[in-house]
């Protein structure tokens, strides 16, 4: 575990994604060990989400705590299962030299940043769970935390692609000299594909969270592992924001 935490620290500090560390056009990280750590980090934030049900004496609060703990890593896993195939196919269609292992390592590195940030926000989320009874506020707080963590994690993905592009330039020049034609490396088309995928990942992740709800646990509703699939994530956020503003006397 100590070695895995060391690898996570390398990613967070940017040492795993420096130009020197990515010689050969790939990022070198232990994906299996990091994957296990990512599950633990997701479960850590899930516990902080479930504490609202415990502190507000919601129905079956321990079950809500367990449910939230399991659902956060499941949310990221299912979102990745849904979106990763399209990323790899589009990446191949634009002629990228990034193979399946390289693309997978890039995504794991981005998720490592995302979930490390998410877990670091856990004590803050738990603090508000202990100090407020406003369900709408807690929902919106978690939306903000997920959004901030996601944006930063996916920015790391794009920044790593930029660094990979510089390390691949020399190899592309060598290929052009040997073969008489340059191969497509990690240029603008590939970055464009990843940018589109980031948007898709965010949209799918948001709706996946809606499908897997509840994460927080409404103190006025009975416990359920899953709610009925009515409405959608974005409509729900707007409803909660309106409710929060009305309860605070704004508008």
pLDDT greater at residue 251 or residue 37: 37
Say what the pLDDT of residue 184 is.
42
Sequence-separated (6 or more) residues with CB below 8 Å from residue 55: 129, 130
What is the chain's mean pLDDT, rounded?
86
pLDDT greater at residue 95 or residue 35: 35
With a cut of 80, say whether residue 44 has pLDDT above it. yes
Q: Model confidence at 208, in pLDDT bands (50, 70, 90)?
A: very high
Which range, 37-41, 178-182, 188-192, is most confident?
Answer: 37-41
Arithmetic mean of pLDDT, 54-83: 92
Q: Model confidence at 30, in pLDDT bands (50, 70, 90)?
A: very high
pTM score, whole prediction: 0.87
With a cut of 60, say whether residue 95 has pLDDT above it. yes
Tens digit of pLDDT for each residue in 72-85? 999 999 999 999 99
Q: Model confidence at 168, in pLDDT bands (50, 70, 90)?
A: low
């Amino acid at each position: 575990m100590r070695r895995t935490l060391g690898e996570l620290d390398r990613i967070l500090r940017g040492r795993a994604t420096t130009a020197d560390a990515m010689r050969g056009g790939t990022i070198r990280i232990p994906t299996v060990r990091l994957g296990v750590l990512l599950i633990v980090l997701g479960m850590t934030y899930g516990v902080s989400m479930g504490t609202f049900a415990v502190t507000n004496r919601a129905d079956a609060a321990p079950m809500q705590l367990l449910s939230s703990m399991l659902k956060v890593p499941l949310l990221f896993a299912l979102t990745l299962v849904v979106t990763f195939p399209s990323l790899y196919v589009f990446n191949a269609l634009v002629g990228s030299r990034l193979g399946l292992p390289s693309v997978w390592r890039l995504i794991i590195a981005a998720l490592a940043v995302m979930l490390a940030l998410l877990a670091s926000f856990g004590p803050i989320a738990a603090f508000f769970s202990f100090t407020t009874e406003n369900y709408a506020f807690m929902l919106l707080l978690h939306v903000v935390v997920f959004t901030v963590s996601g944006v930063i994690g996916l920015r790391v993905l794009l920044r790593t692609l930029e660094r990979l592009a510089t390390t691949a330039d020399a190899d592309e020049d060598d290929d052009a000299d040997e073969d008489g034609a340059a191969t497509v490396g990690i240029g603008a088309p590939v970055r464009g594909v990843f940018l589109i995928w980031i948007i898709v990942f965010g949209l799918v992740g948001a709706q996946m969270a809606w499908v897997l709800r509840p994460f927080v646990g409404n103190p006025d509703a009975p416990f359920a592992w899953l709610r009925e699939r009515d409405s959608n994530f974005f409509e729900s956020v707007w409803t909660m924001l309106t409710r929060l503003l009305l309860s605070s006397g704004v508008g």
